[in-house]
Amino acid sequence: MVAIPAKLPPSSIGFSFSPGGLLFPYHLGVITGLEHLGRLPDSTHLAGASAGSIAVAGHAAKTPPEQALEGAIRVCEACENEHGGKAVGKLLPLLKIELEKSFRDDAHEIINAREGVVALAHRELFPTNRPVLAT
**Exposure string over 25-39, b if 16+ CB within 10 A, otherwise e:** bebbebbbeeeeeee
* pLDDT band per the 50, 70, 90 thresholds, residue 32: very high
Q: Each residue of 50-94: pLDDT tens digit?
A: 999 999 999 999 999 999 999 999 998 998 898 887 777 778 889
Residue 122: phi, psi to the nearest 5?
Answer: -155, 170
For residues 128 and 29, what is the distance between their CA atoms, to the nearest angstrom? 34
Q: Which of 32-36, 79-83, 113-117 has the lowest mean pLDDT?
A: 79-83
Indicate whether 6 pLDDT > 60.
no
> Which residues on neighbouring strands pair with residue 121, listed in sequence order?
49, 133
Using alpha carbons only, give the angle 37, 38, 44 rounded to the nearest 5 degrees: 125
Cis peptide before 19 (omega within 30 of 0): no
